[in-house]
Amino acid sequence: MNRKQKADLVATLLDKYVPNPKIPLKHKDAFTLLIAVLLSAQATDKKVNEITPALFKLASTPKKMSEQSLSDIEKIIRPIGLYKTKAKAIKNLSKILVEKFHSKVPKTFEELESLPGVGHKTASVVMCHAFDVPAFPVDTHIFRNARRWGLSSAKTVKKTEEDLKTLFPKKDWNKLHLQIITYSRQYCPAKAHKIEKCPICSKLHQAS
């Protein structure tokens, strides 16, 4: 099978096993999604979802967040990795949103990536799930399984993203991003992976 055939098979099986994927991070708008995604770097979604209710009770708008002390933000997000760096980023980006963007989360990659603590993956998640702009955020699950499924041999996240964008229709990128993450956690984990327990790996193996 060539890469395009593999991609078509993967898409078909994802629609079967994960027809309606949900965004795993709890949020209510673009700002709370941005903060949740920022917090999720080197942390599990489960841990982030345990932390954010208290954080958003303290402040759920850029203005309110910018007015909080670093120590108050740190106190809440302490169980998350890199909490000091993230607390500083959250406070500073909130201040920038108030002063430069009228307290609104910007709707372009360039503007999002100019904010403290916001890299391309974070910007991509916000663009696709807050603003419905086609993007293909590549996290550890997607990076791993793009290689495992023979969809990309790239050694960088950036090149993997480019490869996936050429294989799948643009209209499906946002859904596929969530489907792959959800499927990977359930059927195709990094550790203790068994081909026979993964429908995608099984089918690809049979077809090779």
Q: Kindly state the average pLDDT of the residues 93-119.
A: 97
- What's the distance, Cα to Cα, between the start and end of the chain in Å? 6
Does 207 score more than 90 pLDDT?
no
pLDDT in tens, 1-42: 899 999 999 999 999 999 999 999 999 999 999 999 999 998
Give the active site residue among 86, 91, 121, 175: 121
H or E stretch including 157?
helix 157-167
Give the Cα separation of 145 and 143 in Å (integer).
6
Report pTM.
0.92
Residue with tokens 């590549």: 138
Give the pLDDT confidence score for residue 184 in this predicted structure: 95
Q: Closest Cα to residue 184, out of 153, 144, 138?
A: 144
| Domains located in the chain, CATH noted | 3-21+136-207 (1.10.1670.10), 30-130 (1.10.340.30)
Q: What is the mean pLDDT of the chain?
A: 96
Which tens digit of pLDDT belongs to each residue from 52-70? 999 999 999 999 999 999 9
Q: Is pLDDT at 137 greater than 80 in this prediction?
A: yes
Residue 208 has pLDDT above 80, yes or no: no
CB 98 within 8 Å of CB 79? no
Mean pLDDT in residue range 164-183: 97
Residue 139 annotated among the catalytic residues of the structure: yes
Q: Is 121 a catalytic residue?
A: yes
Two structure tokens written together for 189: 């984990």
| 6, 86, 91, 139: the active-site residue | 139
Alpha-carbon gap, residue 182 to 186, rounded angstroms: 7
The CA distances from residue 88 to 17, 25, 46, 69, 116, in Å, are 40, 21, 22, 10, 8
| Tokens (6 digits) for 37 | 């995604």
